[in-house]
Structure 1
Amino acid sequence: MKLRSWLFRVALIYCASLLLFSIFEWAELNRQAELPVLPSNHHAKQEILNATIPPAVSTAASRYIFGRTDNKWVRIAYTSFQVLVFSAYLDLRSSDSGMGKTPAVRLPIIMESKHKDEWLKESMFVCYFPQLNASVNAHLYEQCENHDQRYGSFIANCFVDISWTENLSSVQLRPSKSADRDGHHEIVISKSLVVKERPPFNTTVCVHSPIFGHAYSSEYIVRYVELTRLLGAEHFIFYIASGSARRFEDQRLLGVLRYYEASGLATIVDFGLPIDRPSDIWYHGQSSAVQDCIYRSVGSTNFLVLTDLDEFIVPLASVNWNTMFQQIWANRPNATGFHVQPLYFNYPQWKKRAEFAPFIHFETTESGSPFFRLLTKCVVKPERVFEMGIHHISKQFHNYFSNEQLDKSIARLHHYKSRQSMDSSDSLRVNTIMLRYKNDFGLRVHKVLYKYL
């Protein structure tokens, strides 16, 4: 009896150990499947290191396609309140929606919101053009997402005669009552907005939230760029808040961005705001960054995707963006753009993970909250946009253009978000669509990480 009991225990322990070993082996296989590794063969490894990612255009050419990038925020002199100007664009588009049928110089500005009524009533500012020794009134347009903060985002519109346009290279925004021509900073016109039938790029991504401080690592930026390129991106516009108050914790992050810039794949815009308290303006001046990005993209790209670094527009009925965008605009030729509905990936630590798992995480959420369903992101034809919101197209350039909601069967916005912030009525499900990019993704990431980091 004792022998039988002893044999039974031995058999039980043996079976348990086999089961435990199988579990560990299964976990290891899955871990290896999730994290591509470089081949041990030296020749194969060298092939990967030597393989370069071909830029869509030459490095030298790409630096000017999206306008000047040496802009700095300038404070307007002789004013009783703070007005900041970042850039200026000569807009040669004509509009039938109240935005002017004549050319205009448009300046994205940030100012103390409580003074907007004074500007509107009194035409407080003018655009002075030193090349012509001429000035016109600056008409103020308030952007839609200032959220009652102390500082808000606006557009100063200065309408000019078409005969002026060939000679305009810079502009001064100055108080209309100031006779003093000294002490005013000239804003160099970054770019002329001209619609082109065949722009240099087909699809560009605007990462419209300024990158700052501690939010992302250099490795994460590489993974974001390479996965987004697999989806169909040809070029990226990054806004960075690199002022002294927001130094990057990961010093390699800026280096990675410059690496992509040198490859002709990215345009880097230093957007560090000279505002002491970040809480005085909505999300680091995001609205002004979005508007600046729209202007930069006119005539430079067919399609502009506007997302954050934790978001990916994933095609479902097509393999990549190029096919999808051609199809949806063929069906809606007058569309300014499409709103893509979100699908949330609940992954609290996704930003800190070094492996591939964050982008193929299976547990997704169909939000039950009406608020979260409204947080769409957009793909647009930039030349058709007058004002761009964060989650919607605020105003199209012509009345006959339309804003469309993209059907959920065509594409979804994958948004990586902590589950704690989701609604309790959300339903959890499994999603494996990103697995189709897995192998190519691993090779691309290793090319950059081993070459640069």
Structure 2
Amino acid sequence: MRLYVKYIAFVTCFFLFWVCFLATRFNTLHVDIANIAGKLPKEAHALFGNNNDPLVPLQGSDKRVKLTVSEAGDVTLQRHSAMTAVKFRNLSDSVLFYSSFVDYRDGNMGYPYVRTILLKQVSYTVQLSCRFGETLVEGSLYELAENHQQKYSTFIFSCKIPESVSVDEIQDWILTDGSNSAILQATYRIRREESIRAYNYDYSICLPFLYGSMYEGKHLAEFAELNKLLGAQRITLYTLKNSLAKSLQKALDYYTEERLALFSSFISPVLFTQM
């Protein structure tokens, strides 16, 4: 029993030591960050991009970003690294939709889907459908957790892709509730798992939308420094910056200037107290 108590005490002290160490290491003016520029190729390339395309539009924006590295290793970012605002779109007063994607995976359903993220009033009952050309397909809603009895909740809306439609040729489809309609673009494509293994891919961590005064600058510093040690090269945050604690705003500015963090300004379509 004594050995067990000593072990717990040791683990607790060790954990607190590292928390204190990371916290005290942080200062908005003095944080040891690796020189990311030294790891980049000595040529102009895209800050965001696929397939070596040197200039790629930002998601949610028609503007382009270019990062230039000179022979001396100096880095010039031709636009501030905060992405433009990402917004929900209204299908109706009670239903809003966000990004959408084509899901090639059969999963446990046995066929591929198109999916989109929805924000809907919980009390509002509606049958949503997808239209592919002349074919109308009834969709299904899956409510995500963390609603906590609020007015609005987040859903994943899915429609089976008809056999008559080629999955590879889907660029957009129509979301409708019978009275209102909207065209959804295919924002992402999720390939079958067996094909994913055949390609190099980036490992990502999903972060919740950051707002309010719950977190301080030291929390972002601990998170950023730990993930940098684990090999992270870039951290993308969705945030309403002006709503954050001052120390967190300064920390975000610092890591943005260091090109370790990028933030997308996000304006919630409903009050935070209703989500």
TM-score interval w.r.t. the shorter chain?
0.5 to 0.7
* Mapped contact 2:22–2:222 kept (Cα < 8 A): no
Equivalent in the alignment of 1:73: 88
Under a length normalisation based on structure 1, what TM-score does the superposition of the two structures give? Answer: 0.39
How many angstroms apart in 2 are the aligned matches of 1:233 and 1:259?
16
For the pair 1:154 / 2:155, whether they are aligned, the reply is: yes
For the pair 1:168 / 2:170, whether they are aligned, the reply is: yes
Amino acid at match of 1:84: L
Equivalent in the alignment of 2:267: 272
Equivalent in the alignment of 1:86: 98
Equivalent in the alignment of 1:191: 188
Q: Which protein is richer in helix relative to its size?
A: 1
Equivalent in the alignment of 2:137: 136
Equivalent in the alignment of 2:230: 231
How many angstroms apart in 2 are the aligned matches of 1:52 and 1:234?
8
Q: CA deviation at 1:139?
A: 1.3
Residues 143 and 55 (structure 1 numbering): CA distance in 2 closer, same or farther, change over 3 Å?
A: farther
Residues 101 and 247 (structure 1 numbering): CA distance in 2 closer, same or farther, change over 3 Å?
A: same
Match of 1:279, SS state, is helix
How many angstroms apart in 1 are the aligned matches of 2:21 and 2:139?
60
Q: CA deviation at 1:106?
A: 0.8
Q: Please tell me the root mean square deviation across aligned C-alpha atoms, in Å.
A: 4.0
Tell which structure's C-alpha radius of gyration is larger: 1
Amino acid at match of 2:98: F
For the pair 1:109 / 2:103, whether they are aligned, the reply is: no
How many angstroms apart in 2 are the aligned matches of 1:193 and 1:150?
31
How many angstroms apart in 1 are the aligned matches of 2:35 and 2:155?
45
Query: Which whole-Å deviations, capped at 9, do the CAs of 1:216-252 have from their partners, x for residues lacking one?
Result: 455753443122221344543422235x8x4775654
Under a length normalisation based on structure 2, what TM-score does the superposition of the two structures give? Answer: 0.61
2:130 counterpart (116, 127, 140): 127
Residues 34 and 93 (structure 1 numbering): CA distance in 2 closer, same or farther, change over 3 Å?
A: closer
Amino acid at match of 2:223: Y
Q: CA deviation at 1:214?
A: 3.7
Q: CA deviation at 1:112?
A: 0.9
How many angstroms apart in 2 are the aligned matches of 1:49 and 1:254?
14
Residues 280 and 205 (structure 1 numbering): CA distance in 2 closer, same or farther, change over 3 Å?
A: same
Percent identity for Structure 1 against Structure 2:
20
How many angstroms apart in 1 are the aligned matches of 2:23 and 2:226?
14
Q: CA deviation at 1:161?
A: 2.8
Residues 231 and 136 (structure 1 numbering): CA distance in 2 closer, same or farther, change over 3 Å?
A: same
Q: CA deviation at 1:33?
A: 11
Equivalent in the alignment of 2:17: none
How many angstroms apart in 2 are the aligned matches of 1:92 and 1:140?
18
* Mapped contact 1:238–1:267 kept (Cα < 8 A): yes
Query: Which whole-Å deviations, capped at 9, do the CAs of 1:70-111 have from their partners, x for residues lacking one?
Result: 14201113xxx5111111011001122xxx322111111111
Q: CA deviation at 1:279?
A: 1.7
* Mapped contact 2:215–2:245 kept (Cα < 8 A): no
Match of 1:226, SS state, is helix
Q: CA deviation at 1:211?
A: 1.3
Query: Which whole-Å deviations, capped at 9, do the CAs of 1:274-316 have from their partners, x for residues lacking one?
Result: 113x2211xxxxxxxxxxxxxxxxxxxxxxxxxxxxxxxxxxx
Gaps of 5+ in 1: 1-30, 38-44, 282-453
Query: Which whole-Å deviations, capped at 9, do the CAs of 1:164-223 have from their partners, x for residues lacking one?
Result: 3222223332212x2x6xxx443322110013114322x432222x11244445575344
Amino acid at match of 2:146: E
Match of 2:159, SS state, is strand
How many angstroms apart in 1 are the aligned matches of 2:148 and 2:25?
44
For the pair 1:241 / 2:231, whether they are aligned, the reply is: no
* Mapped contact 2:221–2:251 kept (Cα < 8 A): no
Match of 2:187, SS state, is strand
Match of 1:172, SS state, is strand
